[in-house]
Chains A and B, each alone.
Chain A
Amino acid sequence: MSIPVRITINGTLRQFDLDPRMLLVHLLRDACTLTGTHVGCETGICGACTVLLDGSAVKSCTMFAVQADGAEVTTIEGLAKNGDLHPVQQGFWERHGLQCGYCTPGMIMTSVQLLSRNAKPSREEIAHGLAGNLCRCTGYSHIIDAVQYAAGMGGAR
Protein backbone atom coordinates (compact mmCIF):
# COMPACT_ATOMS: atom_id res chain seq x y z
CA MET A 1 0.00 0.00 0.00
CA SER A 2 1.54 3.29 -0.98
CA ILE A 3 0.73 6.68 0.49
CA PRO A 4 0.63 9.91 -1.51
CA VAL A 5 2.93 12.48 0.05
CA ARG A 6 3.87 16.07 -0.79
CA ILE A 7 7.13 17.43 0.55
CA THR A 8 8.94 20.62 -0.33
CA ILE A 9 12.56 19.64 -0.68
CA ASN A 10 15.13 22.41 -0.96
CA GLY A 11 12.42 24.77 -2.12
CA THR A 12 10.79 22.51 -4.69
CA LEU A 13 7.45 20.83 -4.03
CA ARG A 14 7.73 17.13 -4.77
CA GLN A 15 5.02 14.45 -4.83
CA PHE A 16 5.62 10.82 -4.10
CA ASP A 17 3.70 7.61 -3.59
CA LEU A 18 5.53 6.00 -0.74
CA ASP A 19 5.81 2.70 0.99
CA PRO A 20 5.16 3.95 4.52
CA ARG A 21 8.15 2.11 5.91
CA MET A 22 10.55 4.18 3.83
CA LEU A 23 12.66 6.37 6.07
CA LEU A 24 13.03 10.02 5.19
CA VAL A 25 16.75 9.59 4.70
CA HIS A 26 16.14 6.92 2.07
CA LEU A 27 13.61 9.08 0.27
CA LEU A 28 16.16 11.87 0.10
CA ARG A 29 19.06 9.67 -0.92
CA ASP A 30 17.32 7.23 -3.25
CA ALA A 31 14.24 8.90 -4.70
CA CYS A 32 15.74 12.41 -4.80
CA THR A 33 19.42 11.39 -5.23
CA LEU A 34 20.33 13.92 -2.56
CA THR A 35 23.12 11.76 -1.27
CA GLY A 36 24.74 14.45 0.86
CA THR A 37 22.59 13.28 3.76
CA HIS A 38 24.46 10.32 5.22
CA VAL A 39 23.69 7.30 7.35
CA GLY A 40 26.12 6.43 10.13
CA CYS A 41 24.09 4.40 12.58
CA GLU A 42 20.73 2.79 13.18
CA THR A 43 19.88 4.20 16.56
CA GLY A 44 19.63 7.93 16.05
CA ILE A 45 22.91 8.70 17.76
CA CYS A 46 25.42 9.86 15.15
CA GLY A 47 23.54 12.73 13.50
CA ALA A 48 25.10 12.23 10.04
CA CYS A 49 21.57 12.19 8.61
CA THR A 50 20.53 15.55 10.09
CA VAL A 51 18.32 17.73 7.89
CA LEU A 52 16.13 20.72 8.62
CA LEU A 53 12.43 19.93 8.85
CA ASP A 54 10.46 23.17 8.84
CA GLY A 55 13.64 24.81 10.10
CA SER A 56 14.34 22.38 12.93
CA ALA A 57 17.26 19.97 12.89
CA VAL A 58 16.03 16.38 12.87
CA LYS A 59 17.55 13.00 12.24
CA SER A 60 16.14 11.88 8.92
CA CYS A 61 16.92 8.23 9.72
CA THR A 62 14.53 8.34 12.66
CA MET A 63 11.51 9.47 10.70
CA PHE A 64 9.32 7.84 8.13
CA ALA A 65 9.09 9.90 4.97
CA VAL A 66 5.29 9.89 5.25
CA GLN A 67 5.64 11.85 8.49
CA ALA A 68 7.16 14.71 6.50
CA ASP A 69 3.99 15.06 4.40
CA GLY A 70 3.33 18.77 3.95
CA ALA A 71 6.65 19.81 5.45
CA GLU A 72 9.63 21.69 4.12
CA VAL A 73 12.89 19.80 4.16
CA THR A 74 16.27 21.42 3.66
CA THR A 75 19.26 19.21 3.03
CA ILE A 76 22.93 20.09 2.80
CA GLU A 77 22.53 20.44 -0.96
CA GLY A 78 19.95 23.18 -0.43
CA LEU A 79 22.07 25.30 1.86
CA ALA A 80 24.24 27.25 -0.56
CA LYS A 81 22.26 29.95 -2.34
CA ASN A 82 23.06 31.04 -5.88
CA GLY A 83 26.40 29.33 -5.58
CA ASP A 84 27.35 31.19 -2.41
CA LEU A 85 28.30 29.02 0.50
CA HIS A 86 26.28 29.39 3.66
CA PRO A 87 28.36 31.03 6.43
CA VAL A 88 28.46 27.72 8.28
CA GLN A 89 29.80 25.95 5.20
CA GLN A 90 32.35 28.71 4.80
CA GLY A 91 33.32 28.36 8.44
CA PHE A 92 33.91 24.63 8.11
CA TRP A 93 36.15 25.30 5.13
CA GLU A 94 38.07 28.18 6.67
CA ARG A 95 38.68 26.48 10.00
CA HIS A 96 39.39 22.94 8.78
CA GLY A 97 36.21 21.72 10.42
CA LEU A 98 36.19 18.45 8.49
CA GLN A 99 38.49 15.67 7.46
CA CYS A 100 36.73 12.70 5.88
CA GLY A 101 33.61 14.81 5.43
CA TYR A 102 31.12 12.07 6.25
CA CYS A 103 29.66 13.63 9.39
CA THR A 104 29.99 17.11 7.92
CA PRO A 105 26.59 17.62 6.27
CA GLY A 106 24.82 16.65 9.49
CA MET A 107 27.22 18.71 11.55
CA ILE A 108 26.59 21.73 9.32
CA MET A 109 22.80 21.36 9.41
CA THR A 110 22.77 21.16 13.20
CA SER A 111 25.06 24.18 13.37
CA VAL A 112 22.71 26.16 11.13
CA GLN A 113 19.86 25.58 13.56
CA LEU A 114 22.14 26.34 16.49
CA LEU A 115 23.06 29.74 15.09
CA SER A 116 19.49 30.49 14.15
CA ARG A 117 18.62 30.25 17.83
CA ASN A 118 21.80 31.67 19.31
CA ALA A 119 23.70 34.10 17.13
CA LYS A 120 26.76 34.36 19.39
CA PRO A 121 27.21 31.03 21.11
CA SER A 122 30.10 30.33 23.45
CA ARG A 123 32.36 27.35 22.80
CA GLU A 124 30.50 25.46 25.49
CA GLU A 125 27.14 26.25 23.97
CA ILE A 126 28.36 25.09 20.58
CA ALA A 127 29.69 21.83 22.02
CA HIS A 128 26.39 21.26 23.80
CA GLY A 129 24.46 22.07 20.64
CA LEU A 130 26.50 19.57 18.63
CA ALA A 131 26.25 16.74 21.15
CA GLY A 132 23.97 14.89 18.73
CA ASN A 133 26.58 14.74 15.98
CA LEU A 134 29.51 12.37 16.20
CA CYS A 135 32.77 13.09 14.43
CA ARG A 136 35.56 10.54 14.55
CA CYS A 137 38.19 12.57 12.65
CA THR A 138 38.55 16.09 13.93
CA GLY A 139 38.46 15.92 17.70
CA TYR A 140 35.75 18.64 17.46
CA SER A 141 37.91 21.64 18.27
CA HIS A 142 38.09 22.84 14.67
CA ILE A 143 34.36 22.25 14.32
CA ILE A 144 33.71 24.58 17.21
CA ASP A 145 36.10 27.08 15.61
CA ALA A 146 34.11 26.74 12.39
CA VAL A 147 30.80 27.54 14.04
CA GLN A 148 32.36 30.52 15.80
CA TYR A 149 33.69 31.71 12.46
CA ALA A 150 30.19 31.42 10.98
CA ALA A 151 28.74 33.31 13.94
CA GLY A 152 31.24 36.06 13.22
CA MET A 153 30.03 36.19 9.61
CA GLY A 154 26.46 36.68 10.64
CA GLY A 155 25.76 33.04 11.27
CA ALA A 156 22.33 31.88 10.41
CA ARG A 157 21.79 34.10 7.36
Chain B
Amino acid sequence: MYPAPFEYLRPATIDEAIALLVTHGEDAKILAGGHSLIPAMKLRLAQPRYIVDIGRIRGMSHIRETAGRIVVGAMATHDAIERSALLREKCPLLPETAGHIGDVQVRNKGTIGGSLAHADPAGDWPAAVLALDADIELAGPRGRRTVKADGFFVDLLTTATAPDEVLVEIRVPITSAKVAYEKTEQKASGFAIAGVAVVVEQGGVRVGVTGVAAKAYRAKAVERALAGQSAPTAEGIARAAALAAERVEALGDIHASPEYRLHLAEVNTARALRRAYGN
Protein backbone atom coordinates (compact mmCIF):
# COMPACT_ATOMS: atom_id res chain seq x y z
CA MET B 1 0.00 0.00 0.00
CA TYR B 2 3.01 2.26 0.45
CA PRO B 3 5.30 2.79 -2.54
CA ALA B 4 9.04 3.07 -2.05
CA PRO B 5 10.55 6.55 -2.26
CA PHE B 6 11.25 8.06 -5.67
CA GLU B 7 12.10 11.37 -7.23
CA TYR B 8 9.20 13.00 -9.02
CA LEU B 9 9.79 14.71 -12.35
CA ARG B 10 7.12 16.56 -14.23
CA PRO B 11 8.20 17.58 -17.74
CA ALA B 12 6.17 20.21 -19.58
CA THR B 13 7.00 18.97 -23.07
CA ILE B 14 7.68 15.71 -24.81
CA ASP B 15 11.26 16.81 -25.44
CA GLU B 16 11.77 17.46 -21.75
CA ALA B 17 10.38 14.04 -20.99
CA ILE B 18 12.78 12.43 -23.45
CA ALA B 19 15.70 14.35 -21.97
CA LEU B 20 14.79 13.02 -18.51
CA LEU B 21 14.59 9.49 -19.84
CA VAL B 22 17.98 9.89 -21.48
CA THR B 23 19.48 11.19 -18.25
CA HIS B 24 18.03 8.57 -15.93
CA GLY B 25 17.89 5.59 -18.22
CA GLU B 26 16.46 2.39 -16.77
CA ASP B 27 16.02 4.03 -13.37
CA ALA B 28 13.16 6.13 -14.73
CA LYS B 29 9.60 5.09 -15.36
CA ILE B 30 6.95 7.04 -17.21
CA LEU B 31 3.77 7.73 -15.28
CA ALA B 32 0.72 8.12 -17.50
CA GLY B 33 -2.68 7.11 -16.06
CA GLY B 34 -0.86 5.09 -13.43
CA HIS B 35 -3.25 2.18 -13.38
CA SER B 36 -0.62 -0.43 -14.10
CA LEU B 37 2.37 1.27 -12.52
CA ILE B 38 0.96 2.51 -9.23
CA PRO B 39 -0.50 -0.82 -8.05
CA ALA B 40 2.84 -2.45 -8.86
CA MET B 41 4.61 0.25 -6.87
CA LYS B 42 2.22 -0.16 -3.94
CA LEU B 43 3.03 -3.85 -3.83
CA ARG B 44 6.69 -2.87 -4.29
CA LEU B 45 6.93 -5.06 -7.34
CA ALA B 46 8.14 -1.89 -9.07
CA GLN B 47 10.50 0.53 -7.31
CA PRO B 48 11.65 3.08 -9.89
CA ARG B 49 14.04 5.77 -8.65
CA TYR B 50 12.57 8.41 -10.94
CA ILE B 51 8.99 8.93 -11.97
CA VAL B 52 8.48 10.98 -15.11
CA ASP B 53 4.88 12.19 -14.92
CA ILE B 54 3.79 13.03 -18.47
CA GLY B 55 0.30 13.97 -17.31
CA ARG B 56 0.97 17.70 -17.68
CA ILE B 57 2.33 17.66 -21.21
CA ARG B 58 -0.10 19.49 -23.43
CA GLY B 59 -1.35 18.04 -26.65
CA MET B 60 -1.14 14.38 -25.78
CA SER B 61 -4.79 13.55 -25.23
CA HIS B 62 -6.30 14.58 -28.55
CA ILE B 63 -8.78 12.49 -30.51
CA ARG B 64 -9.15 13.78 -34.05
CA GLU B 65 -9.37 13.05 -37.72
CA THR B 66 -6.33 14.11 -39.73
CA ALA B 67 -5.75 13.43 -43.40
CA GLY B 68 -8.21 10.58 -43.56
CA ARG B 69 -6.81 8.89 -40.48
CA ILE B 70 -7.92 8.81 -36.87
CA VAL B 71 -5.31 10.07 -34.46
CA VAL B 72 -5.49 9.37 -30.75
CA GLY B 73 -3.03 10.92 -28.32
CA ALA B 74 -1.33 8.55 -25.94
CA MET B 75 -2.80 10.32 -22.93
CA ALA B 76 -6.40 10.01 -24.14
CA THR B 77 -8.24 8.18 -21.39
CA HIS B 78 -10.23 5.02 -21.99
CA ASP B 79 -13.27 7.02 -20.97
CA ALA B 80 -12.63 9.79 -23.48
CA ILE B 81 -12.26 7.17 -26.19
CA GLU B 82 -15.38 5.30 -25.08
CA ARG B 83 -17.46 8.46 -25.23
CA SER B 84 -15.95 10.10 -28.31
CA ALA B 85 -18.65 10.87 -30.88
CA LEU B 86 -16.00 11.02 -33.60
CA LEU B 87 -14.74 7.55 -32.81
CA ARG B 88 -18.21 6.09 -32.49
CA GLU B 89 -18.83 7.22 -36.02
CA LYS B 90 -15.47 6.67 -37.65
CA CYS B 91 -13.69 4.02 -35.64
CA PRO B 92 -16.25 2.26 -33.48
CA LEU B 93 -13.91 -0.55 -32.45
CA LEU B 94 -12.00 1.85 -30.19
CA PRO B 95 -15.00 2.95 -28.09
CA GLU B 96 -16.31 -0.61 -27.97
CA THR B 97 -12.98 -1.90 -26.68
CA ALA B 98 -12.62 0.96 -24.22
CA GLY B 99 -15.93 0.01 -22.65
CA HIS B 100 -14.51 -3.39 -21.75
CA ILE B 101 -11.54 -2.03 -19.82
CA GLY B 102 -11.57 -2.22 -16.04
CA ASP B 103 -14.36 -0.14 -14.59
CA VAL B 104 -15.61 3.43 -14.73
CA GLN B 105 -12.97 4.76 -12.37
CA VAL B 106 -10.16 2.97 -14.19
CA ARG B 107 -11.41 4.26 -17.53
CA ASN B 108 -11.52 7.81 -16.19
CA LYS B 109 -7.84 7.76 -15.40
CA GLY B 110 -6.20 5.03 -17.45
CA THR B 111 -4.82 5.94 -20.88
CA ILE B 112 -4.47 4.11 -24.16
CA GLY B 113 -0.79 4.97 -24.38
CA GLY B 114 -0.01 3.79 -20.88
CA SER B 115 -1.88 0.59 -21.43
CA LEU B 116 -0.13 -0.15 -24.74
CA ALA B 117 3.30 0.69 -23.37
CA HIS B 118 2.74 -1.59 -20.39
CA ALA B 119 1.83 -4.45 -22.77
CA ASP B 120 -0.01 -6.55 -20.25
CA PRO B 121 -0.70 -9.81 -22.10
CA ALA B 122 -4.30 -9.58 -20.89
CA GLY B 123 -4.87 -5.92 -21.72
CA ASP B 124 -7.71 -5.06 -24.09
CA TRP B 125 -6.09 -2.41 -26.29
CA PRO B 126 -3.55 -4.69 -27.96
CA ALA B 127 -6.32 -6.67 -29.65
CA ALA B 128 -7.90 -3.51 -31.02
CA VAL B 129 -4.75 -1.84 -32.30
CA LEU B 130 -3.68 -5.07 -33.97
CA ALA B 131 -7.03 -5.46 -35.68
CA LEU B 132 -6.87 -1.83 -36.78
CA ASP B 133 -3.30 -2.24 -38.02
CA ALA B 134 -2.48 0.87 -36.03
CA ASP B 135 0.59 2.98 -36.39
CA ILE B 136 2.14 3.64 -33.01
CA GLU B 137 4.26 6.73 -32.90
CA LEU B 138 7.26 6.88 -30.61
CA ALA B 139 9.36 9.95 -29.83
CA GLY B 140 12.92 9.67 -28.63
CA PRO B 141 16.31 11.37 -28.68
CA ARG B 142 16.77 10.15 -32.26
CA GLY B 143 13.53 11.75 -33.34
CA ARG B 144 10.19 10.21 -34.11
CA ARG B 145 9.40 6.83 -35.58
CA THR B 146 6.34 4.80 -36.32
CA VAL B 147 5.94 1.16 -35.41
CA LYS B 148 3.18 -1.01 -36.79
CA ALA B 149 1.04 -2.59 -34.09
CA ASP B 150 2.04 -5.98 -35.40
CA GLY B 151 5.67 -5.27 -34.57
CA PHE B 152 5.04 -3.34 -31.38
CA PHE B 153 4.34 -6.18 -28.96
CA VAL B 154 7.59 -8.04 -28.43
CA ASP B 155 6.92 -10.26 -25.43
CA LEU B 156 5.32 -10.35 -22.02
CA LEU B 157 5.30 -6.72 -20.76
CA THR B 158 7.79 -5.84 -23.49
CA THR B 159 7.29 -3.58 -26.51
CA ALA B 160 9.38 -2.06 -29.27
CA THR B 161 9.59 1.15 -27.25
CA ALA B 162 13.15 1.94 -26.19
CA PRO B 163 13.77 3.02 -22.57
CA ASP B 164 14.37 6.58 -23.75
CA GLU B 165 11.27 6.80 -25.94
CA VAL B 166 7.78 8.08 -25.23
CA LEU B 167 4.69 6.63 -26.88
CA VAL B 168 2.98 9.76 -28.18
CA GLU B 169 0.22 8.82 -30.56
CA ILE B 170 -1.78 6.05 -32.14
CA ARG B 171 -3.04 6.37 -35.72
CA VAL B 172 -5.72 4.12 -37.11
CA PRO B 173 -7.80 3.99 -40.27
CA ILE B 174 -11.38 5.14 -40.51
CA THR B 175 -13.48 2.01 -40.58
CA SER B 176 -17.04 1.00 -41.22
CA ALA B 177 -19.23 -0.33 -38.43
CA LYS B 178 -18.16 -3.85 -39.36
CA VAL B 179 -16.06 -4.30 -36.26
CA ALA B 180 -16.42 -6.22 -33.03
CA TYR B 181 -14.60 -6.99 -29.79
CA GLU B 182 -15.56 -10.17 -27.97
CA LYS B 183 -14.00 -10.83 -24.62
CA THR B 184 -14.08 -13.36 -21.83
CA GLU B 185 -13.09 -11.69 -18.60
CA GLN B 186 -10.93 -12.93 -15.83
CA LYS B 187 -13.60 -12.82 -13.17
CA ALA B 188 -11.62 -11.09 -10.44
CA SER B 189 -9.57 -8.53 -12.33
CA GLY B 190 -11.68 -7.91 -15.41
CA PHE B 191 -8.65 -8.47 -17.65
CA ALA B 192 -9.03 -10.59 -20.78
CA ILE B 193 -8.72 -14.35 -20.68
CA ALA B 194 -9.37 -14.21 -24.37
CA GLY B 195 -10.28 -11.02 -26.18
CA VAL B 196 -10.70 -10.93 -29.93
CA ALA B 197 -11.04 -7.77 -32.00
CA VAL B 198 -12.15 -7.93 -35.61
CA VAL B 199 -12.12 -5.29 -38.34
CA VAL B 200 -13.75 -6.16 -41.65
CA GLU B 201 -12.57 -4.15 -44.62
CA GLN B 202 -13.09 -4.35 -48.32
CA GLY B 203 -11.72 -7.68 -49.37
CA GLY B 204 -10.46 -8.80 -46.03
CA VAL B 205 -10.46 -8.91 -42.29
CA ARG B 206 -7.95 -8.31 -39.54
CA VAL B 207 -8.12 -10.17 -36.23
CA GLY B 208 -6.28 -9.22 -33.03
CA VAL B 209 -6.18 -11.60 -30.08
CA THR B 210 -5.24 -10.73 -26.51
CA GLY B 211 -5.13 -12.60 -23.22
CA VAL B 212 -4.32 -15.93 -24.77
CA ALA B 213 -0.55 -15.83 -25.18
CA ALA B 214 2.40 -14.00 -23.65
CA LYS B 215 1.82 -11.24 -26.17
CA ALA B 216 -1.16 -10.16 -28.21
CA TYR B 217 -1.06 -11.35 -31.80
CA ARG B 218 -2.70 -11.08 -35.22
CA ALA B 219 -4.58 -14.27 -36.07
CA LYS B 220 -3.29 -14.27 -39.62
CA ALA B 221 -4.47 -17.77 -40.42
CA VAL B 222 -8.00 -16.60 -39.75
CA GLU B 223 -7.47 -13.54 -41.90
CA ARG B 224 -6.11 -15.64 -44.78
CA ALA B 225 -9.02 -18.05 -44.58
CA LEU B 226 -11.45 -15.19 -45.05
CA ALA B 227 -9.45 -13.11 -47.50
CA GLY B 228 -11.45 -11.86 -50.42
CA GLN B 229 -14.80 -12.73 -48.90
CA SER B 230 -17.26 -9.98 -48.20
CA ALA B 231 -20.01 -12.21 -46.83
CA PRO B 232 -18.62 -15.50 -45.60
CA THR B 233 -21.02 -18.26 -44.61
CA ALA B 234 -21.50 -19.40 -41.05
CA GLU B 235 -19.49 -22.51 -41.88
CA GLY B 236 -16.77 -20.39 -43.40
CA ILE B 237 -16.55 -18.30 -40.29
CA ALA B 238 -16.46 -21.37 -38.08
CA ARG B 239 -13.68 -22.92 -40.17
CA ALA B 240 -11.69 -19.71 -40.07
CA ALA B 241 -12.22 -19.19 -36.35
CA ALA B 242 -10.85 -22.65 -35.69
CA LEU B 243 -7.50 -21.24 -36.84
CA ALA B 244 -7.51 -18.46 -34.24
CA ALA B 245 -4.98 -20.14 -32.03
CA GLU B 246 -2.93 -21.88 -34.66
CA ARG B 247 0.68 -22.33 -33.52
CA VAL B 248 -0.02 -20.28 -30.39
CA GLU B 249 1.52 -21.20 -27.10
CA ALA B 250 -1.21 -20.32 -24.64
CA LEU B 251 -0.81 -19.04 -21.09
CA GLY B 252 -2.24 -20.99 -18.20
CA ASP B 253 -3.04 -19.89 -14.67
CA ILE B 254 -5.64 -20.46 -11.98
CA HIS B 255 -8.19 -18.57 -14.02
CA ALA B 256 -7.93 -20.49 -17.26
CA SER B 257 -5.85 -23.36 -18.54
CA PRO B 258 -4.00 -23.08 -21.87
CA GLU B 259 -6.54 -25.46 -23.38
CA TYR B 260 -9.47 -23.33 -22.29
CA ARG B 261 -7.80 -20.13 -23.47
CA LEU B 262 -7.24 -21.65 -26.89
CA HIS B 263 -10.84 -22.77 -26.99
CA LEU B 264 -12.08 -19.30 -26.02
CA ALA B 265 -9.87 -17.73 -28.66
CA GLU B 266 -11.78 -19.75 -31.21
CA VAL B 267 -15.20 -19.08 -29.68
CA ASN B 268 -14.65 -15.35 -29.35
CA THR B 269 -13.13 -15.12 -32.82
CA ALA B 270 -16.21 -16.77 -34.27
CA ARG B 271 -18.49 -14.50 -32.29
CA ALA B 272 -16.61 -11.37 -33.23
CA LEU B 273 -16.50 -12.38 -36.88
CA ARG B 274 -20.21 -13.15 -36.97
CA ARG B 275 -21.04 -9.81 -35.46
CA ALA B 276 -18.63 -7.85 -37.63
CA TYR B 277 -19.86 -9.50 -40.82
CA GLY B 278 -23.45 -9.13 -39.63
CA ASN B 279 -23.79 -12.87 -40.07
Contact = CB atoms under 8 A, between A and B. Distances in A.
Nearest to A131: B103
Interface of A, helix, strand, loop or mixed by DSSP: mixed
A1 B34 contact: no
B1 A39 contact: yes
Interface stretch (A58-66, A81-89, A93-101, A135-143): A58-66
Interface string A45-58: 10100100100111
Contacts of B88: none
A132 B53 contact: no
Contacts of A64: 8, 31, 34, 38, 51, 53
Contacts of A58: 105, 108-109
B53 A44 contact: no
A84 B183 CA distance: 43
Contact of B109 (A23, A39, A62): A62
Given A67-B55, A132-B103, A44 B5 contact: no
Best-surrounded residue of B43, B105, B188 (most CB of chain A within 10 A): B105
B108 A67 contact: no
Interface in B1-46: 1-8, 10, 31, 34-35, 38-39, 41-43
A124 interface: no
A19 interface: yes
B102 interface: yes
Interface of B: 1-8, 10, 31, 34-35, 38-39, 41-43, 51, 53, 55, 79, 102-106, 108-109, 188-190
The 9 A-B residue pairs whose C-beta atoms are closest, nearest first, are A132-B103, A20-B8, A56-B108, A21-B3, A43-B39, A131-B103, A132-B105, A59-B105, A57-B105
